[in-house]
Structure 1
Amino acid sequence: MGGRHVLRARQLIEGTLTGLDGGDLVRAARTVVAELGSAERLVPLVTELASGRGDPSGCAPLSYRHVLGFDKLLLVGAGAHHRLRAHVWHPGTVRAGHEDIHNHRSPLASYVVRGRLGMELYETAGDGALTAARYRESLSADVNDWLLEPAGSARLRLTQTAEYAAGSGYALSPYALHRAWCAAPGTTVTLFLETGVGRRRYTDVFTGAAAGRAERAQAYAKEPLGVAEYLEELRRLAELVGEGGRLERARPA
């Protein structure tokens, strides 16, 4: 199990994030994911993983086609439940589009490796322009389903709209409400670092589709990848990030 680049990634994540919390953790996570997202670090890491090094039998069951519209591939697990993932956004697919507005279980950081990601930040506000149905999202005991339970309604206010090109990124506290989408005509790849500190039991999900209230109040099954499919996705990812790295280096100063 493992390999030189997998070990280096684990050491960087654990060595940097251990003992941190709050704003220090958020800032450190952003620094780590930007370093790991550089072509010099990410291309050999994904290439090594695609060859079968690392923990494919452990990572494949935690990798899947996410209901919010992207492929979620676990690359490295480290320390206190820190997880380094690749998110692959495919424009033009049935699932492509804007996510629901949501927050997360723990602090996170994301770095755009290829393409472009759009994002909006929101806050709850009594005079907010957007009326949304609110759900509490948790995981079933066997972590195979997303459980969405109605939690009333809310009014939301848009506070920021941003677009992140390759080479840029962001970090968020677990309570930050946001949604993201592929803002490029081609495939967008982001490196996503989910920290394991102060992990919440549930998240909040908001949707403006009032007619979907009854329909959404149910469990959504995850469909994890098999090991062979996971390795094939890693091989495709290696091609994408390798091409992205060559494009970045080819750009004039």
Structure 2
Amino acid sequence: MGGRHVHRARHLLEGTLDAALPEEQLVRAARAVVAELGSPERLFDLVRELATGVGAPSACALLSYRHVLGFDKLLLIDGGPGHMLRAHVWHPGTRSAGREDIHNHRSPLASYVVRGRLGMELYEPLRSTANPGESGVAASWFRESLSDVEGHWLLEPAGPARLRLTQTAEYGTGSGYGLPSYALHRAWCASAGTAVTLFLETGAGRRRYTDVFADATDATGSGGRAEAVVKRPMDVKDYLAELESLAELLSR
């Protein structure tokens, strides 16, 4: 059962996001939703309520984990195939500790910076991979899908690729962005302190896999990369403790 703030958030998600909309319209709607839910008072109330065990903590904990690239993914509301609302807690030094692979998503998304700053790069694929003199960066292309083992990613090699950087941006507190499912990007914490973003994936037509592009000099093959990105879900106790810590952070 949900409390008042969980109920209000679900009502906004379900009333605003029509999965039948074209992706561009769905992205705009999702941006409006995360901007509203990401306001300091509203997000604090939602997270504090969830931290008491309201909602579906067991189910949300199974889909929450500490990402190997330096940020925590905390599922707040699971709307099934329609939408998933998460808090991403980004820790300083993410970019220097290890840059996120360039990737896209299964669904359109929107992200709103609640605290700190987030850096992001956008890329586009180049048609030719054979000409080493062509501008762009060499990458190893993988298709990422869900394996039969619960909580694991399956990364299958799909060949070489070359990508061109098209945009670099920083997003400060109170700003955000939306991307269609096919957009290639990577992000990192660009602030000296912890950054928090409210992240929403939406749309019922989720793709079976995403595209992941790793630095060609770092790729070691599907087996090695699959081991590097194993998901370790939180247990309920840790999940609620992380929500409590997030609520405390948001109250400052």
Return closer, same or farther for 1:149/1:80 CA change in 2, 3 Å cut-off: closer
Q: Report whether the alignment pairs 1:147 with 2:148.
A: no
Assess if the C-alpha contact under 8 Å between 1:150 and 1:217 holds in 2.
no
Q: Tell me the matched-pair count.
A: 243
- 1:85 maps to which residue? 86
Query: What is the aligned partner in structure 2 of residue 246 from structure 1?
Result: none
Matched AA of 1:236:
S
Whether the 8 Å contact between 2:38 and 2:114 is mirrored in structure 1 is yes
Deviations 1:165-208 (A, max 9, x none): 01000000010000000000111110000113310000011111
| Residues 206-232 of structure 1 deviation map (CA, whole Å, 9 limit, x = unaligned) | 111424333645354210000000000
> Who is 2:131 aligned against?
none
- State the distance in 2 between where 1:99 and 1:135 align: 14
Q: Does 1:160 align with 2:178?
A: no
Q: Is the 8 A contact 1:26 1:108 kept in 2?
A: yes
Q: Using the alignment, how far apart are the partners of 2:41 and 2:95 within structure 1?
A: 33
Over residues 27-69 of structure 1, what are the superposed CA-to-partner deviations in whole Å (9 max), with x where a residue is unaligned?
0000001100001210100010011111111100110012333
Amino acid at match of 1:177: L
**Separation of aligned partners in 2, 1:111 and 1:96:** 23
Name 1:230's counterpart in structure 2: 239
| Residue of structure 2 in register with 1:10 after alignment | 10
In 2, the alpha carbon distance for the partners of 1:225 and 1:13 equals 25
- The answer to whether residue 191 in structure 2 is matched with residue 184 in structure 1 is yes
Q: Which runs of 4+ in 1 moved over 3 A?
A: 92-97, 215-220
> What secondary structure does 1:221 align onto?
coil
Structure 2 counterpart of 1:194, from 193, 201, 213: 201
Distance 1:182 1:97 in 2: 11
Question: Contact 1:70–1:96 (CA<8 Å) still a contact in 2?
Answer: no
Q: Which amino acid aligns with 1:188?
A: A
Q: Name the CA distance, whole Å, in 1 between partners of 2:39 and 2:171.
A: 15
TM score, norm. by length of structure 1: 0.91
Residue matched to 2:181: 174
Tell me what 1:103 maps to.
104
Give the counterpart letter for 1:84 in structure 2.
Answer: L
Superposition CA RMSD, Å: 1.8
Distance 2:146 2:104 in 1: 15
Matched, 1:53 2:59: no
Partner AA of 1:71 in structure 2: D
Report SS of the residue matched to 2:178.
Answer: strand
SS in 2 for 1:229: helix
1:93/1:32 CA distance change after superposition, 3 Å: closer
* Structure 2 unaligned regions, length at least 5: 129-133
* Normalised TM-score (structure 2): 0.91
Structure 1: segments with no counterpart, 5+ residues: 244-253
The alpha-carbon distance between structure 1 residues 150 and 4, as it changes in their structure 2 partners (threshold 3 A), is same
Q: How far did residue 71 of structure 1 move?
A: 0.5
